């Protein structure tokens, strides 16, 4: 027979679980994990008290506690917890408690993470992988357009949660604002909260670290740029629902970067400064300097960051495609003044190791652009995660610049870096909803190096 004490413990555990679910909106989500710090995120109902307990794996008796309260008058209550003073290359476990009058010592963990290894000056850069993708649409039938739901099979996130990856990089359109969201602050907050709370996402959110950029749909209305009147609100919402290390500079934009092992990823903001798509690309046969995607402040930052970087792979990630000459949709090529400036800078300064990583297009592909006297550039597009797909058509049906293509399929990409120093290799794999492999492409760092004269 089960003892009275055991039955009481089981009952307390059940009641605690019910209380947690009643007040939990979404999460927990793991953010950047560095050598001695980590970020955790959770959203609860306004007016809740949240307690975080964390400890080294195997040392649950020596747990530490952080406590936060939310304002009952707030619309939404996402919370960020900064864990600092951690040990290098150490696994930690954590547990959240919500609205417990007396928080009991932890008996099990909600999740875990491992701080980075200090490899510099000690050993070769470690091999690692990260996941990436764009265009995640969560259906909401009451307000969505009539007809076939635009959001596809969301079980793709269950497959992604099983992957062994250092982090996930969301390439934009991570949620989709709609007509009921565009024109008021509450709508923008509600969209982020509603889509983040999708049950199928929750396991993936805590399975690895998450970084994010935005594109038009998680910034505001379709194709909008600098003229969006709620851009300040949109930036504030984005900062509250993601855990990037930084968000732009001087309170403008959300650009930032990720450095992991010997790879640098420059996360660009293609909306905050962006000109209207209808603005003329050229005037009197010359590139229009007023037609921009990134803006001078961000471009200057990118140039200096590329010059500073010693990474064999320098990935410039942005929401819109960069190199595709035959695309009828938005791309950096439609801003010829900026595009020419970047191409000239890369070549004149012999910036090696550059790749572009983009989303937006509802298909995945790799575009190759040859350059005279130096190595070719590649634009790797990963899309869509759950949003609608399409078939290659029109001028893109037989795109001569495409060296890999994947249409009419939901998918995510996995970037894996391996090999000895000066011989590092990148393998890009594309996977379908069930984790089935749909394609692969490889390149070595030597193939992204300016030939010696």
The 10s digit of each residue's pLDDT in 317-368 is 999 999 999 999 999 999 999 999 999 999 999 999 999 999 999 999 999 9
Of 150, 162, 212, 135, which Cα lies nearest the Cα of 385? Answer: 135
Of 295, 287, 247, which Cα lies nearest the Cα of 271? Answer: 295
Question: Residue 109 contacts by C-beta under 8 Å, 6 or more apart in sequence?
Answer: 93, 94, 95
CA atoms within 13 A on the CB side of 208: 22
Per-residue pLDDT at 22:
73
DSSP annotation of 60 reads G
Per-residue pLDDT at 21:
59
Percent of the chain exceeding pLDDT 70 equals 95
Give one DSSP letter per residue of 331-387, joined into a string: BGGGSHHHHHHHHHHHHHTT--SEEEEE--SSSEEEEEE--TTSPPEEEEE---SSS
Low-confidence ranges of the chain (pLDDT < 70): 1-21
H or E element: which one contains 5? helix 4-23
* Cα gap 410→68, rounded to integer Å: 39
* Cα gap 302→123, rounded to integer Å: 29
Per DSSP bridges, beta strands 111-114 and 64-69 are unpaired
Per-residue pLDDT at 15:
45
Q: Which two tokens stand for residue 319?
A: 């929401």
Query: Across-strand partners of 188?
Result: none
- Ranges of each domain in the chain: 4-114, 128-448
Rg, Å, the chain Cα set: 23
Per-residue pLDDT at 453:
75
Question: Residue 37 contacts by C-beta under 8 Å, 6 or more apart in sequence?
Answer: 82, 83, 84, 85, 86, 115
Candidates 3.60.21.70, 3.40.50.150, 3.40.190.10, 3.30.70.270; correct CATH number of 128-448? 3.60.21.70
* Cα gap 130→415, rounded to integer Å: 5
Q: Which two tokens stand for residue 287?
A: 């590139």
Of 375, 352, 437, which Cα lies nearest the Cα of 427? Answer: 437
- Within 70-119, strands assigned E span 77-83, 91-98, 111-114
Question: Residue 74 contacts by C-beta under 8 Å, 6 or more apart in sequence?
Answer: 46
* Cα gap 415→407, rounded to integer Å: 19
* Cα gap 379→324, rounded to integer Å: 8
Q: Which two tokens stand for residue 40?
A: 């955790």
128-448 has the same fold as 4-114: no
Q: Are 408 and 389 in contact (CB under 8 A)?
A: yes
Around Cβ 62, how many Cβ atoms within 10 Å?
Answer: 8
Of 330, 270, 261, which Cα lies nearest the Cα of 299? Answer: 270
* Cα gap 91→2, rounded to integer Å: 35
* Cα gap 233→229, rounded to integer Å: 9
Q: Are 314 and 377 in contact (CB under 8 A)?
A: no
Give the 3-state secondary structure percentages of the chain, helix then strand then coil, rounded to 5. 20, 30, 50
pTM, whole model, 2 decimals? 0.95
Per DSSP bridges, beta strands 354-358 and 313-318 are parallel
Per-residue pLDDT at 18:
47
User: Measured between alpha carbons, how far apart are the two ends of the chain, in Å?
Assistant: 83
Per-residue pLDDT at 130:
99
CATH architecture for the domain at 4-114: Sandwich (2.60)
CA atoms within 13 A on the CB side of 373: 9
- Edge-to-edge strand ranges of the sheet holding 91-98: 64-69, 49-56, 91-98, 111-114
């Amino acid at each position: 027979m089960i003892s009275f004490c055991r039955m009481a413990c089981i009952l307390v555990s059940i009641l605690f679980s019910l209380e947690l679910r009643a007040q939990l909106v979404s999460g927990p989500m793991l953010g950047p994990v560095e050598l001695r710090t980590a970020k955790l995120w959770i959203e609860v109902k306004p007016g809740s008290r949240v307690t975080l307990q964390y400890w080294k794996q195997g040392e649950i008796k020596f747990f530490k506690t952080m406590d936060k309260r939310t304002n009952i008058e707030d619309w939404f209550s996402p919370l960020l917890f900064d864990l600092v003073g951690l040990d290098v290359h150490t696994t930690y476990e954590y547990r959240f408690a919500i609205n417990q009058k007396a928080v009991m010592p932890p008996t099990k963990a909600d999740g875990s993470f491992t701080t980075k290894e200090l490899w510099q000056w000690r050993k070769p850069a470690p091999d690692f992988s990260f996941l990436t993708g764009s265009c995640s649409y969560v259906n909401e039938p009451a307000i969505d357009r009539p007809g076939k739901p635009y959001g596809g099979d969301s079980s793709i996130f269950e497959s992604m949660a099983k992957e062994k990856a250092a982090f996930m990089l969301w390439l934009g359109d991570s949620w989709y604002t709609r007509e009921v969201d565009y024109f008021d602050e509450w709508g923008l907050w509600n969209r982020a909260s509603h889509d983040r709370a999708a049950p199928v996402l929750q396991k993936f959110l805590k399975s690895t670290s998450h970084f994010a950029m935005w594109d038009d749909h998680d910034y505001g209305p379709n194709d909008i740029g600098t003229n969006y009147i709620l851009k300040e609100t949109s930036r504030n919402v984005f900062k509250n629902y993601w855990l990037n290390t930084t968000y732009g500079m001087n309170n403008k934009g959300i650009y930032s970067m990720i450095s992991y092992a010997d790879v640098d990823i420059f996360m660009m903001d293609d909306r905050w400064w962006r000109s209207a798509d209808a603005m003329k690309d050229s005037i009197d046969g010359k590139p229009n300097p007023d037609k921009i995607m990134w803006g001078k402040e961000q471009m200057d930052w990118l140039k200096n960051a590329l010059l500073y970087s010693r990474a064999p792979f320098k990935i410039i990630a942005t929401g819109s495609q960069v190199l595709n000459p035959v695309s009828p949709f938005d791309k950096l090529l439609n801003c010829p003044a900026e595009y020419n400036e970047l191409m000239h800078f890369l070549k004149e300064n012999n910036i090696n190791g550059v790749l572009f990583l983009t989303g937006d297009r509802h298909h995945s592909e790799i575009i190759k652009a040859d350059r005279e006297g130096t190595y070719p550039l590649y634009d790797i597009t990963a899309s869509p995660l759950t949003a609608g797909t399409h078939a290659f058509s029109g001028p893109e049906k037989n795109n001569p610049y495409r060296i890999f293509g994947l249409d009419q399929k939901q998918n995510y990409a996995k970037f894996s870096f391996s090999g000895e120093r000066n011989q590092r290799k990148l393998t890009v794999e594309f996977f379908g909803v069930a984790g089935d492999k749909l394609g692969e492409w490889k390149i070595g760092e030597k193939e992204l190096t300016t030939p010696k004269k």
